[in-house]
Every structure is written in structure tokens, then in C-alpha cells.
Structure 1
Amino acid sequence: MTDTASAQPGGMAPSKQLDDGGNRGAFDRLLDAFAEVLDPLLRRTGAAARLVAVDGDDGLTLWRVSGRTVDRLGRVDELSEPAERTVKSWGGRSVELRLGEGKVLRRTVRLPDAARDVFAAVLHHRLDRMTPWRGDQVLFGYEAADVAEPDGHVAVDVVATSRAIAEAAARPLAGLGLTPTILGVAGADLAQPVAVDLYRGAADPSRRRSRRRLKVAVVTVLVLLGAAAAGSAWLAARAEVAGDALGDRAAAVRRAVVERSGAQGAADPIATLLAAKLPDRSIALFVDGLATVLPDDSHLTALSVDEASVRLTGISDDAPSLIAVLEGADGLTDVRFAAPVVRDGDGRDAFDILATRAPAVGEP
């Protein structure tokens, strides 16, 4: 690692340090990371004009940049009257200060690609070894390669300067009522935003505004998503209740049709079909109920079901116990053996059981 230039620190009172994310919440760090991606895009596509101050060999020169158009306003100590009006009307908008190469220090370090999220904190702790200034007197920025090297490390270009150097360069701007919001390096195309901001966005009011707007947008979206989820759950619950109510009404209508046809004494085939669909007369539901109550050691070889009775034939390890199991199950009564139990060569009981079906609700 080699220095492009070095400079001696000037005397100054310690300034407030930039936040490296150690004391911030996960949401704020995630928001900052998202804003870091959006900010360069917004600056490239935005039509807002920028004021750029370049610290060159002949002093500090001001430039007005709008899109790809770059207009020289002049040195700060020899501005024309129109240029002064432009500067005085600038207000609190963004002001870029670009230092000459002789006032910055460049380093290239290699860091693990897995530590991308904490590069700023890692570099902050290395400033005492990377620069000739105390860590609390250093302003720095960095740019990491997009692709990691085969060993899993990333080349990170670090640009640093002392606070004293930056403040000395910005002093002429203070006389014009301007305060730098972005600190970069001269030599690049002025129409392009600085690649590395040594303030790292801490002094840029546009970035603070974009973060506030982004935070409001994220919170608004989360609130809307929460409301939509609650509304969906409410609608689903209402639909379930309505479905249950519709099923109950359908069952009541079927029973009413069956009762009416029985009262009229008519052998209506439609009424017969409707009766078979009632939950307490459905053959399918009845068979399912039998399968539930029969023990695992018993199985049926034949089943006969009509409106009044049920006949079950099968094999069981303990046929006599089936009488108590079936009595009362699914509306069965008078459960009894229709024939003697016969034990086969395997020691299992062959049974033939007869039972009476209880009448359905509404039947005589």
C-alpha cells in the first residue's frame, strides 16, 4: 500500500465523529444501506443543479453543474456580479468541495467479502495505522470492488484526509455563506457525482431528506400491508361463517322437503334422494363412522345397509367385544349376533352381526 500524498495535521478541536453504525438499530442500518444504493441513482438522474468547488493550484474555483452542462463561475476571490448572485441565491442546497490530489491520502486494502456490511467500521478502527493522523481527526471514504477475488477478499480503495485540511479548503466558502455538503477529490469529470464522499453522506442534506422520505414510505407500506392482512383475515372469517350458515340452511331445506313428502305419503324419488343426503342418513358418512369405531384387529368382509337395519360380516380377534363397541355408534341399536361366532384355523373369530338403525331426526 502506497501513499498518493501525505499531509501534516493542523491544530483544531475534535469534531463530532461520523456514525459507523455501531450504535444504530437494525432497521436504521438497513434503511441506510438501501439509501446508499438509491442515492447515486437519484443524483445521476436528477435534474437539480449542483455547485462544485474545486481546490486547485490557483485557489478555489466555483462551477455550476446542471446535467452535463458545466459552467465556470470563477475563483471565489474574483467572482463576477452575476456569479455572486448565483452563489448568494444558492441557499442550503448541495455544495461539493473537491480537494486536490496533493491533499488526500489513498490506500488500497483487502477485506473479506463476507464483511461488506461492516467495511466502514473495520476501516474506522484501522485509521491510526493507515494514515498519519489520529483517528478522530480523519475524514475518509471508500469504494469496494463489486466482485470478490478467488480467495474471498475484496479490494477496497480508501481515500482520506485530515479534518484540518478539509476545513482550511472550505474556509473561503464560508465567506460566501456556503457550507460543503459533499467532500471528494478533484480530477474527475465535474458532470459526474463524486465517486467517494469523505463525509460519507453525513453532511449532505439531500441524503438526509431522502432517508426521511424513505423511512416514511417504508412505514406507510408496512402499515398498509398490516391493514390489508387484517382485512383479508376478517373477510376470510366472514366467508367461513357464511359458508357454515349456508350449509345449515341447506340441511334444513332437505329435512323440510323430506318431512313434507312423508306427510303427503308420496313415494317421491327426489325426496328419497334428498333424504340420502342428510348427514344423519348418508350411507357414506355411516360407513366412515363404522371405520372409525371398529378396532384395528377387526375388518369387514361384507356390509349390508338399508333404511332400517345393518348387517356386518367379518373377522376379528375378539368378536364378542364388538357388540359393546357398536351399540349406540352412529345411531345403531339392538346390536346382536345373527349367527354363532366361528373360530377359524388362525384363532380368529368370524362374525355375523345384525343391528337396527335409529330413525333420523324428523322421521316417525
Structure 2
Amino acid sequence: MGMISEFQQLFGEWIAAVTGAADAAAGQFIRSRRILLEEGDDDVFTARTIAAKKAPALPDLVFRLDSGRPQPPLPADWKAAFRGSRVEAQVQSGHVMTCLLDFPSKAGDFLDGMVRTQIDRLTPWTANDAVFGWSPPTPAANDRIDVIFAATSKLKVQPLLQYAQALDVASVAIYATASLGDGASARIKLLDQPWRSAIGTTRIPLLLRAILLSAGVAAAASLLISTYLGSSLQSQQGELQRQLSQRRAALRLDPNSTGSGLGLLAKRKQATPSSVVVLEAISRVLPDSTYVTELRIDGDKVQVVGMTQDAPSLISLMEQSPQFTRATFFAPTTRAANEPGERFHIEAHITAYFGSGT
């Protein structure tokens, strides 16, 4: 629970920081209307608009806040002017306490903390019950600086803040005027309260939450898909490795398998007669007076071309041999005048078995 609370706090701070940065950036380009309120006696205020582009000028308006309600009621055009504008209220000097403070010059970067610790001593209110501010520091003697401190009660400005919020203004700033002693005066900001962003107070947090939620859903979906695909690919890889292992084991156990390269070679060796063996068989069949000039082996057929004294007798000799069958002439037998015998062309089928030695 502690970690969840801490995460929620950090998440809220991050959203607030991003919203503030976006609002500050948008404020450089989107300028809201400014309305000045000057407090007079008996809670009477005078409202005037600061000239702005594309905004009609309105006449000054005087009204009195009675229990947080304007008397008389505001006209419709002034209500529209207050909506989304920045209100800068100048409180009456009689309701503000001012005093001159001096600090060492090196304390210029820590004025907020140093002034806040002295509110109980300088005013009748605590730091939580007062709105306060100070003027820019001015150099003084002995390496010191002077600031004019101004403060008033939160109860004094609360009705004005509530009414401004009811009018849906963008922000309210409260100022006080303090005399510098030489006839000059300083305008001191006591409070600056933003209520509505220049681009909408709820749009950015909702957008950030939607973006983070979408990113989380996308990350979860990506993780699930990658897990599923990874397990599927891993199972397929395991199946392929198993099949390869089985195939390799089968090849090792049966090297003469018809599906392997060694098996195919062994089968071809057994089914195809050797050329040397065929030549030896022909030399045994043919008589000594026969000469072979060409020998061609094509699959299970052998073609023999040569010279002999009696070509027809060669057919019967080859038919009688167990190594050859269906012997026949594949070309005419010829005899030339300058040749000692007949030129024959015999073709026969070779049997696949050539004795135990093959």
C-alpha cells in the first residue's frame, strides 16, 4: 500500500508539472483579457478592462461586494468579459500592513524563506492566515539589501476570490501599493491564484492519463503477443530439431536406405553393371578372330562394333552367354574390298548380375 500511495503521489506531481509547463508554454501564445479591480471605501470596486486584440472595450464599472455578491448585479457583457480573463485587484492601502526589512546582500536568493519565518513577528497573522509579498530588493549600506514587506489577512480577500472564481476567471492576482519614502511607490504582489489553464484545466491531465493508459495497454499486448509467438516459434524449432535428430539416427542405423545418398549409390551400383565387367564378358564371348573397334554402354544396353570373319555367328554366341540377352544387329553388316572381314554392329541387353565377384 505504501508503494501504491507513493506512486500515486509521484504520478500526480508529474501530471501537475507537465500541466504547468504546457500551460506556461501556451500562455506565451494565448493572451487572456486583463481586468483591473481597484478597491475603494466600503468594499466598492471599480472595474476597467485593459485593451486587447479582438476584444471590445467596455466602460468602467463600479459595484459593491455585499457578502460576496455584487450590487448592482453585473451586466451580461461584463460577465462575459470576466469569464476566462485575468483579474488584477488592487486592495486599499488601509487594509495592508507594510514595513521595511533589511537583510544581508547574500540573502537575496533566499528571501521567500526568510520573510516567511518572520510573518508571525511582523503581522498579527500566521503564514497560513496571511497573503503577503515584498518589493524587489534594493542595495543598502554595509553590504545589505532593503525590501518593503506587505501583508493582509486572507479573510479580507476571500470574498473577492470566491466571487472571481464564481465568474469563471482564469486567474486572480492581488496587489498592494507601498510607499518607498521618497515620493515613489512600489506595486507588491500579495497573491497570484490560477484557476483555469489557458488550454483547459482538465484537458491535459485527461490526455496524459489516456496516453499512459494506451501505452500500458500497448505494452501489455506487445508482451502477450511476443510471449505467444516466442513459445510458438520455440515449439516449432523443437519439432524441427526432433525430426532432424530422428532422420540422422535413421541414416546412421540404415546407411543403405533408399532415401539417403549412400543408399542411392549402393542401389545404383547393384543395378548397373560395371563397364570393366562388361568388357571382360565380351572378350570371353567373342572368338579370337574378332576385333572390337567400338564399345558403348547405355544403361542396360551394350553396342559392339568391330571386324569378324562370320558376323551371324556372333549373335548366337552372345545369346548363349548368361551375361547378355536379346542380341541383334542394329546396323547392316558390310564388307569392304580392302578389309579382311565383315564389319558388324551388334546390340544386346546386359543382365544385372555378373557372378559372385560383382
Shorter-chain TM band: 0.3 to 0.5
- The structure with the larger Rg is 2
TM-score for the superposition, normalised by structure 2: 0.43
TM-score for the superposition, normalised by structure 1: 0.42
Structure number with higher strand proportion: 2
Higher relative contact order (CA closer than 8 Å, sequence separation 6+):
1
